[in-house]
Amino acid sequence: MKWITRERPKIDRIACPWLIKHFVDKEAEFMYVPAEQVKERAQAIGAIPFDIPDVEFSHHEDKCTFDYIIEKYSLTDPALQTMALIVRGADTDRHDIASQAAGLWAISAGLAYNIQDDYELLQKGMMLYDALYNWAKYLQKVKHTQNPVDHVFIDVYNKFIKQQSAQKKTPAWVKELKQIIQDQIDSNINLTQISKSLDINPSYLSREFSKHFNNLSFGEYIRKLRIEKAIELMQQNKYTLTEIAYLTGFSDQSHFTRIFKQHTGKSPSLYKKEWDKSKKDTKG
């Protein structure tokens, strides 16, 4: 169809062609003529007159022609409803009904001032409404955080967060627990007792333990400490292996021997023999 309206379009006579072309009549052609010739020319060429008084496609009460087309063709796209308010606000000087109306008006009025050819203006205006539609449809919730200063803050913040999670602060109970284990390594310590003295749930403690103790379970960590202490005592050359087993919290010597071998690959007596020999060798 051909659609005809008054020359020198600004808002509604650009927005309506955009709406018609995209949502009503893909083949639509648009003509701009002096106001007093619209009806006459419309009849002569069989075109639909729009946005002039006393025709169907026009303003109705406080609504503009863009609104009428949406209503007439039951266009339900929410983005179009958003645009309708902006167009109406800009077209009827009611900038209060949509915050984007004043900006649309300024740019449209300026475009009309700069571009004298109505058809060129229509073509530029089409891009404007394409943009407004995409904003309304996809970007309405997007904030513009392009402020480079904001970006610097965001970058620094992200680095801070990364460092925080990388370093994972050691909880206070971990330090306390290390101390307790150190002090009681020669006694029969167990996790349940310790969790009581730390006032921490035992299953939580058991689950969290390895995160803070080199991926070792409570039992593994205790055994490692005991063996290290046993080796230290052997090197002092003051204790028998039975005494050492006792001093390092092992219930009996065979248990001590078994665990020691697991950790060092040697029995305690062999380990001690080799140590004593190496001492002599160095002396010699």
Which residues of this chain interact with another protein, rule CB under 8 A? 10-11, 53, 58-59, 64, 86, 90-93, 95, 99-111, 113-114, 124, 127-128, 130-136, 138-139, 142-149, 151-152
Token duo for residue 94: 């009611």
Q: What is the Cα–Cα distance from 96 to 69, expressed in whole angstroms?
A: 22
Q: Which is nearer to another protein, 71 or 130 (CB)?
A: 130
In terms of Cβ atoms closer than 10 Å to its own Cβ (0-12, 13-18, 19+), residue 192 is exposed
Calculated CA dihedral for residues 54, 56, 61, 65, nearest 10 degrees: -110
Output 100 or 248, the one with its CB closest to another protein: 100
Residue at token pair 């409570």 = 218
- Kindly state the smallest distance separating residue 208's Cβ from another protein, in Å: 40
The CB-of-114 to another protein minimum distance in angstroms stands at: 5
CB nearer another protein, residue 105 or residue 250: 105
Minimum distance of another protein from residue 140's CB (angstroms): 8
Within 8 A by CB and 6+ apart from 72, the residues are 57
Q: How far apart are the first and last CA of the chain?
A: 114
Q: Which residue has the tokens 């309304």?
A: 136
Report whether 50 contacts 58 (CB < 8 A): yes
Q: Least distance (Å) from another protein to the CB of residue 45?
A: 25
| Complex with another protein: residue 58 or 267, whichever CB lies closer | 58
Closer Cβ to another protein, 135 or 239, answer by number: 135
- Smallest gap from Cβ 198 to another protein, in A, equals 48
